[in-house]
Amino acid sequence: MEPRKKFFRFRNEKIIFFTFTGLMLAVYLFEFFIILPRIQASDPTFHKGIHIFFGTLILINAYLSVWKFITTDATSGSRVLPSSLEKGWKYCWKCEANAPPRSYHCFTCHKCILVRDHHCVLVSHCVGHATMRYFLSMLMNMWVALLYSNILNFDFVWEVFHVLQPKTLLTMFVPWLAWVLGYAESETFVMAIMTSICLLGFMYCTVMLGWHGRNLLKGRTCHEMAKKIGFNYDLGAAENIAQVFGVNWKYAWISPIIPSPLPGDGISFKEKEFVERNGKGL
Ligand SMILES: [Zn+2]
Ligand SMILES: [Zn+2]
């Protein structure tokens, strides 16, 4: 796939992107500088080195996923599309070109996206044939990072919130107000904000991963799920994963930089009936 040239069109896209990627770093620094030293202070046998190692690995993987996601072109690029409408193709009046099956025009990207799933507002880029792997990789790394953070944060959350009083409830749900009213110390305020971000982020990622993981196994996009179409693209779980994570899918999920060419081109597709008649095989 060809690299993408322009990342952001509007200022608010830049603000959302840098807030999102900045929060990833903020969670990492919070665990590194506040939570791990706290755990070590209360338990001298605790070795934080191993957690720093794994935490750094997950953060690098998450950033690499974002980088691969935003630099990969999700359109047909410079490939020449047929000038006459073929079976299942449609004409896009915006692009003034023929668009293959499963592709849809994105009114934010202003382009037709191959196997369009949805437009990800966090990085301002479309999830489609060439980018689905990196989107899922980003989501998986965020989910693992937030699960890890919540486990490490547990002692603090328990310490502050195990007694459910109005003050602790206020600190839990409206930390800034608890801080302004003097119910929460500055340190508790920062801790409450960060642990809430970890908790809410984890819940959000779990829902997203459940939804997109199900679509991955079924070989269909969000759009096809919503419209109850595209059943013929379901080639069985293993082959559906290979269509997204590439021929080396058994390892490609570990890191977005593991080379794994996609078996399809996002323009023509293997279909269920065809596979059933002719046997499987990538
Ligand atoms: Zn279009
Ligand atoms: Zn888009």
Phi/psi of residue 157, nearest 5 degrees: -60, -40
Helices marked H in the chain: 11-30, 36-42, 49-71, 132-161, 166-173, 175-180, 186-218, 222-227, 237-245, 249-252, 272-278
Give the number of the ligand closest to the Cα of residue 94: 1
Query: Residue 112 pLDDT > 90, yes or no?
Result: yes
Distance 80 CA to ligand 1 centre (A): 15
What is the rounded distance in angstroms from the CA atom of residue 169 to the CA atom of residue 161? Answer: 8
Kindly list the domain boundaries of the chain, sorted by start residue: 11-275
What is the rounded distance in angstroms from the CA atom of residue 101 to the CA atom of residue 115? Answer: 8
Least confident of 17-26, 128-137, 170-179: 170-179
Q: Which of 106, 120, 126, 198 is catalytic?
A: 120
In the structure encoding, which two tokens stand for residue 233, read together?
Answer: 């693209």
CB atoms under 10 Å from CB of 193, counted, come to 17
Query: Residue 5 pLDDT > 60, yes or no?
Result: no
| 7 close to 70: Cβ distance less than 8 angstroms | yes
User: How much is the pLDDT for 191?
Assistant: 85
What integer best gives the mean pLDDT of the chain?
89
Give the number of the ligand closest to the Cα of residue 105: 1
Distance 219 CA to ligand 1 centre (A): 23
Give per-residue pLDDT as tens, 135-152. Answer: 999 999 999 999 999 999
Distance 138 CA to ligand 2 centre (A): 17
User: How much is the pLDDT for 211?
Assistant: 97
Active-site residue, 120 included: yes
